Structure formats: structure tokens, C-alpha cells
Amino acid sequence: MDLDPSSHRIVACSFERHAAAILDIFNDAIEHSTALYDYHPRSAQSMVGWFDAKRAGGFPVIGVEDAAGTLLAFGSYGTFRAWPAYKYTAEHSVYVHRDHRRAGLGERVMRELIAAARGQGLHALIGAIDAGNAGSRALHERLGFAHVGTLPQVGFKFGRWLDLALYQLLLETPQHPVDG
């Protein structure tokens, strides 16, 4: 296991190279945390549709690999809501392999996602975070996200009600937004 952060590199994730590692990280989060409000591990086949949706939407999948090419963390964004007037807004998510949390990898991925959103002319990034996830909330606040609301008891997992905290970062882009 590579613990030297100077040897970590940012990569554009692909289905061929990263689907299995992303699936492992997703499934660990599903089984052991409230980072995903899902009950059942995802199948390998589910990654085909996930990557297809990212590709079709022009949404990045950004990862951090160690020197050996092992995926340690990844993040992406996608459609916030399906109506056209939300075209300048995206909802993002970031996941870090359980053995590499609290090492700054989530922040690295978030900074890359923010840069990608600016480059694509987005105006708002939305993070929907389990309100009990103090680490993720603090990360978003350090990066300039504002807490814009909490939806109480909208999820139920591990025998308890879960509150969803919404965080938003407004970007200076696009220069000339248009209707339609």
C-alpha cells in the first residue's frame, strides 16, 4: 500500500480501468455507512449504466491513484434535476476507499471537480450529505460551500431516520448564461 501522497496522481477514470475499484468503494459505502442511502450492494453490470450516463452527460469521473495505479478515491457530478432550467447546476459526490480516509484525498478530488465544473460553465455545485457526516460537511465548508438547508428524516437506514444536509457552491461561471 502506497502511503506517500507525493506519488498520488489525478486521473480521468474509465470503465475499463476503474469500474471494479469504483464498485468496491460504492459497495463498501452502501454496506457500512450512510454516505449512500442505498440498501443493497450494486452489481458489476450496474457500472455499465453508471459510466454510460456519465459519458452521455459529459460528466467527469475523477480519481486519485497511487504509484501502483490503485484507485484510492473518486468523484463525479451529474444532473441535479431533470428540467432544462437546471442546466447550470450539478450534484456531486466523492468517495474515498476506507483505508485511505482522512488523508486529504477527498479534498483533492473535490478541487478537481470544482475546476471541471468551472471549465464546463456550470454555476452551482450541490452536495447532498448525510447530516451525521461531520467530516464531509467540514470539507465542504473549507472549500467554500454554504449549508443551504437540511431535509429532516428523508432517509431510513440502519434502523434510524437520516437527515440530509444540502451544501452549495456558487461559481462565477458561465460568463453569459442563456435560456433554452
Q: Tell me: the pLDDT tens digits for 13-27? A: 999 999 999 999 999
Q: What is the mean pLDDT of residues 110-137?
A: 97
pLDDT at 109: 97
pTM, 2 dp: 0.93
Q: How far apart are CA 88 and CA 174, in angstroms?
A: 8
pLDDT at 5: 65
pLDDT at 33: 96
Q: What is the mean pLDDT of residues 98-109?
A: 93
Q: Is the confidence at residue 131, as pLDDT, over 90?
A: yes
* Cβ pair 117, 172 in contact under 8 A: no
Q: How far apart are CA 103 and CA 15, in angstroms?
A: 25
166 membership: H or E segment, kind and range? strand 160-170
The band of 3, judged by pLDDT with boundaries at 50, 70 and 90, is low
Residue type, 29: A
Alpha-carbon distances, residue 86 vs 89, 138, 146 (angstroms): 5, 26, 19
Domains of the chain plus CATH, in order, are: 5-170 (3.40.630.30)
Q: Tell me: the pLDDT tens digits for 50-97? A: 999 999 999 999 999 999 999 999 999 999 999 999 999 999 999 999
Beta bridge partners of 146: 168
